Amino acid sequence: MSRFILRLFDLLVLLVFIIVVAFYTWGKLTKKEKLVIEDKHSLLSGIIGEKNKQ
C-alpha cells in the first residue's frame, strides 16, 4: 500500500514540475510571439467553427 502512495506522490511531483516549466516557458515568450500564437489559434478555431456550421 505504501508503494502505491509513493508512486502517486511521484506522479503528483512530476505533474507539478511540468506545469511550472510550462508556465515559466510561457512567461519567457515575448508578447509578439504570444500574439502570433493567439492569432493562429483564433484562425484555427474560426476554420473549425465554419466546418461545424456546414
| Region 39-47 average pLDDT | 73
Range of the domain at 6: 2-53
Q: Which pLDDT band holds residue 47 (cuts at 50, 70, 90)? A: confident
Q: Alpha-carbon distance 4 to 11, whole Å? A: 11
Q: Could you give the C-alpha distances from 53 to 15, 40, 48, in angstroms and in order?
A: 37, 20, 9
Q: Full-prediction pTM beyond 0.85?
A: no
Structural domains in the chain (count): 1
Q: What is the pLDDT of residues 1-33, one digit of tens each?
A: 788 999 999 999 999 999 999 888 877 776 666
